[in-house]
Amino acid sequence: MTISATQVKQLRDMTGAGFMECKSALTETGGDVEKAVTVLRTRGQAKASKRSGRTTAQGVIGHYIHTGGQVGVLVEVNCESDFVARTDDFQTLVREIAMHVAAANPTCVRREEVPADDLESERDIVRAQFKDSNKPPHVIEKIVEGKLNSYYSQVVLLDQPSIRDPKTPISGLVTAAIAKLGENITVARFARFKVGESAS
C-alpha cells in the first residue's frame, strides 16, 4: 500500500512524531490514521518507560502569567541535557504545563505527594455513601479505589486531563515529549499564585 505525503503530514501534525516513524505506523495500520496514532503512542510509552530511570539534572523553570495578572505560575521541568532543555519542543512542553497549572489548579505533581490524611478522608466519604447499601465490604472497597482515581484526576497534576486535550493526561504529554526528544523528562515542582490568596 502506498502512503501519501499528506497522510504522513496529518499524522505528524497530530502526534509530533518523526517522518519515518509516522510512515512506518501508517504502513503497519494500512493507512488508518487513528490506528497509527495509537501505534505511535504505544511506542512512545515503551520508549518512555525505558528512559524513566535516567537522571534528570538539567531543565528549566518556566512561568506563565494569566491575562490580567491575577494568576501566575512557576514550574520546574527537568531533562537529561542542556541541549534538550533549550529546544523549542521542550520549552513548549514547559509552557503548556505552566498554563495548565494556572487553569486547573492541581495541589501536587504526583500521587505519592497527596497527603495520607486527604486520601483517608476521601475513602471515608465514599464508604459513608455506601454504608446502608448492603454491598459486601470488598465491593465497597473496590468502589472506594475507583473513586480515588477520580480524586487523583482532580488534584494531581500528572493525572489531570490536559486543558487543551481532555483525552490526554499531563503525564501523556510528558511521555510524548520523552519519546520525541529521546531523554527522560520529569516535572519536579510548581507554585501557583493567585491575587488575594494567602500562602498556605
Rg of the chain over Cα atoms, rounded to whole angstroms, equals: 20
Give a yes or no: residue 41 inside a domain: yes
Domain-embedded: residue 66 = yes
Same domain, 105 and 167: yes
Phi, psi angle pair for 59, to nearest 5°: 140, -165
- Per-residue confidence (pLDDT) for residue 191, from 0 to 100: 96
Looking at residue 53, its pLDDT comes to 59
Q: Are residues 160 and 102 in the same domain?
A: yes
Same structural domain for residues 126 and 95?
no
Gap between the Cα atoms of 30 and 36, Å rounded: 9
Distance CA 126, CA 123 (A): 5
Phi/psi at 2 (nearest 5 deg)? -90, 130
40 part of a folded domain: yes
Residue 136 has a pLDDT of 83
Indicate if 147 and 162 belong to the same structural domain. no
Determine, yes or no, domain membership for 134. yes
Is 184 found in the same domain as 102?
Answer: yes
Q: Which of 67, 10, 14 is nearest to 176 (CA)?
A: 14
Structural domain includes residue 137: yes
pLDDT one digit per residue (tens) for the chain, 200 residues: 688 888 888 877 776 666 777 888 888 888 888 888 787 776 665 555 555 556 677 999 999 999 889 999 999 999 999 999 999 999 999 999 999 999 999 999 999 999 999 989 988 888 888 877 788 878 888 888 888 888 999 999 999 999 988 999 999 999 989 888 888 899 999 999 999 887 65
Q: Are residues 190 and 106 part of one domain? A: yes
In the prediction, which pLDDT does 1 show? 66
Looking at the fold, whether 64 and 103 belong to one and the same domain comes out as yes
Domain residues for 143?
A: 115-154
Do both 136 and 126 map to the same domain? Answer: yes
Tell me: do 100 and 169 sit in the same domain.
yes
Instruction: Judge whether 132 lies within some domain.
Output: yes
Q: Same domain for 77 and 106?
A: yes
Largest distance between two CA atoms of the chain:
62
**Cell 495509537 sits on residue:** 38
- The predicted pLDDT at position 179 comes to 85
Contact between residue 173 and residue 162 where contact means Cβ atoms under 8 Å apart: yes
Work out how many domains the chain is built from and give that number. Answer: 3
Q: Is the same domain home to 165 and 92?
A: yes
- Please tell me the predicted confidence (pLDDT) of residue 144: 85
Q: Say if 102 falls within a structural domain.
A: yes
